[in-house]
C-alpha cells in the first residue's frame, strides 16, 4: 500500500548540485576503499514519495559517458513534454502541481506476468543505477544527463515475455485535469511509443526515476520515463502508465501525427536529414550561443552497443 507523506519539499530545501556532487565523490571513494560497492548489487529500488527527495542505494553503471553533465537547471528547464505545453519552457511551469503519486503501471500482452502494479511494487525487484548518458533531440540540440533508473532489460526479463512478444509498447498518463496540453489537439492522446523486443532488451535503455541523485522532477517525466540514448528525444516517453508486449508493431505518436517526418525507429542518424533541418550537427544546451555546433555521431555515439540491431535494415527507409 502507498502511504502518502507530508507536504512536498520546496525547491529551497533541495540539496545543491555542488553539494550532491561532493557527497557522491565521497561515497565513491569510500566504496572503493571498502571493497567496491560498485561491484555489488544495490538494494531494491525504493523511491521516496516526496518531490526532489534524495535517492539511496544507487549503483554506478559501466555504460556512463565521461562527458561533463549539463547543469540541473539546464536539464529541468528545457523540456519536451507536450502534455504540459508546446514550448520548451512550458513543462516546468505547467507541471508544478502535477501529482505523480499514487501511481500504477499496467503490464499486459504476451507475457507470463501481467496485471496492474502499484509503483512501489513495480520497482521493488530492481536495482537503481546512475547512468550518465548523452541525449539528443530531433531539433538538433543535445545534453549530457545523469539519470537514475532501472534497467529496461531487467524489467522485460522480470515480466517474462513469450515468444509472441516482438515489440514493447508504452503509454503516458492521459489526464485532462492535470495536463493542460491534453486538452488541445496537437497529438492523438494518449502519447504512445514503442521499441522492438531486441531494442528493449539491449543493456542501454533504462526506465528513469531520478536525475542528479534525486527524484525526477515532474517536467522531466515523473514518476517514471523511458531513456533510450541512441534514439531521438521523442522515444523518451514520460509518466508511463502502461507497458504492453505486442506481436505487432505498435503505433507511436509522432509517426501517427506526421508520418513523412517521423518513423518508428527514431535512431540518431546524421546521414538522414529531417525534412525541415539537417541532422549532421548539433548544439549542446548550456553552451555559449556563439559556440560552434558539434558533429552528430551515428547512434549518438553508442554504435558499438546497438549497430548490430540494424545490420539488415535500410536506415534511410526505416528512419
Residue 295 has a CB neighbour count (10 Å cut-off) of: 8
Say if strands 281-284 and 141-151 run parallel, antiparallel, or are unpaired: parallel
Give the pLDDT of residue 290: 76
In a domain, 53, yes or no: yes
Is the separation of the CB atoms in 197 and 153 below 8 Å? no
In a domain, 32, yes or no: no
Euclidean distance between CA atoms 4 and 119, whole angstroms: 13
In a domain, 76, yes or no: yes
List, for residues 20-53, the tens digit of each pLDDT value: 344 334 333 333 333 333 334 446 789 999 999 9
Euclidean distance between CA atoms 95 and 181, whole angstroms: 10
In a domain, 87, yes or no: yes
CA 2 to chain centre: 24
In a domain, 319, yes or no: no
List, for residues 251-272, the tens digit of each pLDDT value: 999 999 999 999 999 999 999 9
Instruction: Assess whether pLDDT exceeds 60 at residue 1.
Output: no
Give the pLDDT of residue 303: 98
Give the pLDDT of residue 59: 97
Instruction: Assess whether pLDDT exceeds 50 at residue 286.
Output: yes
Q: Which residues contact 33 (CB under 8 A, 6 or more apart)?
A: none
In a domain, 40, yes or no: no
User: Which SS3 state, helix, strand or coil, does residue 112 take?
Assistant: coil
Give the pLDDT of residue 26: 34
List, for residues 120-146, the tens digit of each pLDDT value: 999 999 999 999 999 999 889 999 999
pLDDT > 90: percent of the chain = 80
Euclidean distance between CA atoms 75 and 145, whole angstroms: 7
Residue 50 has a CB neighbour count (10 Å cut-off) of: 16
What is the rounded average pLDDT of the residues 73-96? Answer: 97
What is the rounded average pLDDT of the residues 298-309? Answer: 98
Instruction: Assess whether pLDDT exceeds 80 at residue 67.
Output: yes
Q: Where do runs of H (alpha helix) occur along the chain? A: 17-33, 72-77, 90-94, 119-123, 152-159, 197-200, 253-257, 303-306
Mean pLDDT check: name the lowest of 7-21, 149-163, 232-246, 279-293: 7-21
Instruction: Assess whether pLDDT exceeds 90 at residue 163.
Output: yes
CA pseudo-torsion sign 300, 257, 285, 77: negative
Q: What are phi and psi of 152, to 5 degrees?
A: -65, -35
Please state the pTM of the whole predicted model.
Answer: 0.86
User: What are the strands, taking DSSP E only, across 100-249?
Assistant: 104-109, 115-118, 128-136, 141-151, 167-172, 192-196, 206-211, 214-215, 225-227, 240-246
Residue 95 has a CB neighbour count (10 Å cut-off) of: 26
Q: Is 91 left (phi over 0), alpha (psi -120 to 50) or beta?
A: alpha
In a domain, 29, yes or no: no
Give 289 or 226, the one with higher predicted confidence.
226
How many structural domains compose the chain? 1
Closest CA to 171 of 102, 251, 229: 251
In a domain, 23, yes or no: no
Looking at residue 124, which CATH number applies to its domain? 3.90.420.10
- Domain of 294, in residue numbers: 49-304
Give the pLDDT of residue 43: 60
Amino acid at each position: 500500500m502507498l502511504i502518502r507523506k507530508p507536504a512536498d519539499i520546496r525547491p529551497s530545501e533541495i540539496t545543491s548540485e555542488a553539494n550532491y556532487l561532493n557527497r557522491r565523490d565521497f561515497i565513491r571513494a569510500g566504496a572503493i576503499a571498502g571493497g567496491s560497492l560498485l561491484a555489488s548489487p544495490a538494494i531494491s529500488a525504493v523511491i521516496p514519495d516526496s518531490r526532489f527527495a534524495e535517492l539511496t542505494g544507487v549503483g554506478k553503471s559501466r555504460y556512463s559517458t565521461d562527458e561533463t553533465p549539463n547543469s540541473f537547471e539546464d536539464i529541468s528547464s528545457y523540456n519536451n513534454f507536450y502534455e504540459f505545453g508546446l514550448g520548451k519552457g512550458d513543462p516546468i511551469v505547467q507541471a508544478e502541481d502535477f501529482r505523480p503519486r499514487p501511481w500504477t503501471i499496467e503490464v499486459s500482452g504476451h507475457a507470463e506476468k501481467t496485471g496492474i502494479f502499484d509503483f512501489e511494487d513495480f520497482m521493488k525487484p530492481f536495482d537503481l543505477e546512475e547512468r550518465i548518458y548523452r541525449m539528443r533531440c530531433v531539433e538538433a540540440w543535445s545534453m549530457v544527463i545523469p539519470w537514475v533508473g532501472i534497467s529496461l532489460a531487467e524489467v522485460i526479463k522480470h515480466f517474462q515475455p513469450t515468444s509472441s512478444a516482438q515489440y514493447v509498447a508504452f503509454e503516458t498518463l492521459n489526464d485532462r485535469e492535470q495536463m493542460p496540453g491534453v486538452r488541445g489537439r496537437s497529438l492523438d492522446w494518449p502519447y504512445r511509443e514503442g521499441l522492438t523486443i531486441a531494442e528493449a532488451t539491449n543493456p542501454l535503455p533504462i526506465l528513469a526515476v531520478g536525475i542528479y541523485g534525486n527524484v525526477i522532477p515532474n517536467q522531466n517525466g515523473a514518476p517514471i520515463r523511458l531513456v533510450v540514448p541512441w534514439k531521438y528525444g521523442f522515444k523518451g516517453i514520460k509518466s508511463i502508465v502502461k507497458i504492453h508486449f505486442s506481436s505487432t508493431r505498435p503505433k507511436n505518436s509522432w509517426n501517427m501525427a506526421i508520418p513523412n517526418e517521423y518513423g518508428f525507429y527514431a535512431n540518431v542518424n546524421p546521414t538522414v536529414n529531417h525534412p525541415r533541418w539537417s541532422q549532421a550537427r548539433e548544439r549542446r544546451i548550456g553552451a555559449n550561443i556563439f559556440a560552434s555546433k558539434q558533429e552528430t555521431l551515428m547512434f549518438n555515439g553508442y554504435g558499438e552497443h546497438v549497430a548490430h540491431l540494424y545490420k539488415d535494415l535500410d536506415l534511410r527507409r526505416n528512419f
